[in-house]
Amino acid sequence: MPRPFLTNRCQECRSRKIKCDGHRPVCLRCQQASRNCQWSNRSPREQQSRSPTTPDQSLTTRPRSAEYVSTKDPETALRNPHIATIFRYYIEHLAGWYDLNDVKRHFGHIVPSCARRNSLLLSAILAFAAASQSSSFLKKDLWDLAESYHLESVQALLQLTENPDEFQTGETLAAICLLRSYEIISQNVSCQNHLQGSYSLLASRPAGLEAGLLSAGFWNYLREDITVALIEKRSLMIELSQEHLPPTVEGEDDLANRITYLLGKVINRCLNQDSSPLEQHEWHSLGDELDMWRASLPASFEPIRTPGLYGQSNFPSLWTVSGWHASSLQYYHTALAILSIAEPMQTGMNTLQQIQRINDFEEKLDHHAVQVSALAIFSNSAPVWVNSFGPISFCGPWLRDSQRVHELIEETRKWGGKTGWPVASIVESLSRSGTRG
C-alpha cells in the first residue's frame, strides 16, 4: 500500500507558498526569520478528505484534551478510572450496534479483549464511545477527549500503512469501523476518510472466505456503507463480488449477511448515477434473488403482531425476537423499494393504464416504508435503530399517511437522541413528505 501524501507546511510557509521543513513546534524558516510559526489545529468536523486513503496532516497535530491519557500502553491507560468508564460504556452500550448480525458477538467479546494489547483499537473505541456519550448527554469535555483519541487513532493508522501485513488484520478493520462511527456521530456523515483508506484491505481479503474478526469487520463496514449510501442516494464505495458471500448458509446470521449483500448489490446497480437503466432480465434476476432469500427464511424470522404493545401507534405493531430478524427484513423491503423505482418502463400503455401503474407504484413504496418503520419503532432496540436510519431515510419519505410520517419523525428524533446519531437530514426529508401528505 503506498504511503499517503501528507501536507506538512506551517500556516506561514503555506501562505507564502514556500517550502517548509516540517519541524515542530517551530520550523527552521520561521525560526531564522523570527516569524510566529503556527500549525493548523482545525477540528475533524471541519476537515475534508485530501486523499483517497487518509485525512490531511492537520488532523494529526491538534492539541490533546486535558484528560487525555495515551493508549500506547493500553493496560496503563485502562488503570485510569475515567478512561476505564468510557471503555466500559462501549462494552455495555455500543458493542451491540456492531454485533447486530453476529451470533459470536466479536465486537462485544473479542474487540475489547484485543484492545487491551492493541493501541489503535483502544484509541478507536475511546474516540467513538466518548463522542457517543458527548452527543447523547451533551458533555463538551467528552467531545474534546473524543477528538484527542481520534487524533491518536489517525496517527496510528498512518504508521500502519507503512506495513501492509500489519495493516491487513481484523483488528485494524474493526478500528476503522469504530472510527467510521465516530465520523457519523461527529456530524460528518459523508466523510469517507477511513472507508477509503480501508478499501484496498477489503478488496484483497474477501470476507466470505474467512472467519473471525476480519469477517465481522467486513459486514459492519458494509452495513455502514449501506447506511450512508441510502441517506445520500448513491452507490456504495465497495464493489461487491460473489466471493464476499459465505459459500454455505449455516445459521441465521448468515441469512442476515446474505440480505446485506443482496441490498448492497441492488444499491450498486440501481443508485449509481452513471449506470444505465435496468433491462427487464436484470430486474427480474435481482427480484428473483430477493424472492429466493425470503423463501429460505425459517419461521423464526416472521414478525409477531401484538396490538398495543407500546401504546397507541399509527403503524402495525410488528416485532421480532432478534435484532437481526428486524434488520434483515428492513433490508429486504428496502431492496424491493429500490427495485420498484428501477422497474423498466413498459411501452404502449394508455393514460388510464399509466394512472393505475402510478397508483400501484405508490402503494408498493408505502407498504415497504410501513414495514421498515414499524420494525424499527417496535424493536425498542438501539442497535436496530442505528441500522434503521439508512432504510428509514430512503423509504420513509414514501409514506402516504401524514400521521405515520409525524410519528416516525418523533421516533427518529427520540432514537437519534438516545444513540447520539445525527438525524437532522433524515427528519428534514421526512418532514417534506409529511407536508406533501
Q: How far apart are CA 384 and CA 314, in angstroms?
A: 20
pLDDT value of residue 117 = 96
The CA-CA-CA angle for residues 51, 53, 58, to 5°, reads 60
pLDDT value of residue 353 = 83
Give the position of cell 516569524.
Answer: 35
Query: Does the pLDDT value for residue 297 go beyond 80?
Result: yes
**Residue-averaged pLDDT of the chain:** 83
Look up residue 122 and give its three cell numbers: 483502544
pLDDT band of residue 350 (cuts 50, 70, 90) is confident
pLDDT value of residue 357 = 85
- Count of CB atoms within 10 A of residue 154's CB? 24
Q: Name the least confident of 92-96, 246-250, 298-302, 336-340.
A: 246-250
- As a whole number, mean pLDDT of residues 291-297 equals 96
pLDDT value of residue 402 = 95
pLDDT band of residue 321 (cuts 50, 70, 90) is very high
Residues 6+ apart with CB under 8 A from 80: 69
- Count of CB atoms within 10 A of residue 344's CB? 13
Query: Does the pLDDT value for residue 157 go beyond 80?
Result: yes
pLDDT value of residue 338 = 97
Q: 378 or 346, which is more confident?
A: 378
pLDDT band of residue 124 (cuts 50, 70, 90) is very high
Q: How far apart are CA 232 and CA 217, in angstroms?
A: 23
Query: Does the pLDDT value for residue 380 go beyond 50?
Result: yes
pLDDT band of residue 247 (cuts 50, 70, 90) is low
Give the position of cell 441510502.
Answer: 230
- As a whole number, mean pLDDT of residues 359-381 equals 96
Query: Does the pLDDT value for residue 289 go beyond 70?
Result: yes
- As a whole number, mean pLDDT of residues 85-113 equals 96
Q: 48 or 120, which is more confident?
A: 120
Q: How far apart are CA 68 and CA 73, in angstroms?
A: 13
Q: Name the least confident of 72-81, 248-257, 265-274.
A: 248-257
Q: How far apart are CA 126 and CA 86, in angstroms?
A: 6
- As a whole number, mean pLDDT of residues 176-198 equals 71
Domain boundaries, the chain: 1-38, 70-232, 248-436
pLDDT value of residue 384 = 98
Closest Cα partner for 129 from 166, 91, 100, 76? 91
- As a whole number, mean pLDDT of residues 189-198 equals 53
| 91: Cα separation from own chain's centroid | 18
pLDDT value of residue 244 = 72
pLDDT band of residue 231 (cuts 50, 70, 90) is very high
Give the position of cell 402516504.
Answer: 400
pLDDT digits (tens, 9 = 90+) for 398-432: 999 999 999 999 999 999 999 989 999 999 999 98
Q: How far apart are CA 126 and CA 214, in angstroms?
A: 20
Query: Does the pLDDT value for residue 252 go beyond 70?
Result: yes
Tell me which fold the domain 1-38 belongs to. Answer: CD2-Gal4 (4.10.240)
- As a whole number, mean pLDDT of residues 368-397 equals 97
Burial of 292 (C-beta count, 10 Å sphere; 0-12/13-18/19+): exposed
Question: What pTM was computed for the model?
Answer: 0.82
Query: Does the pLDDT value for residue 98 go beyond 90?
Result: yes
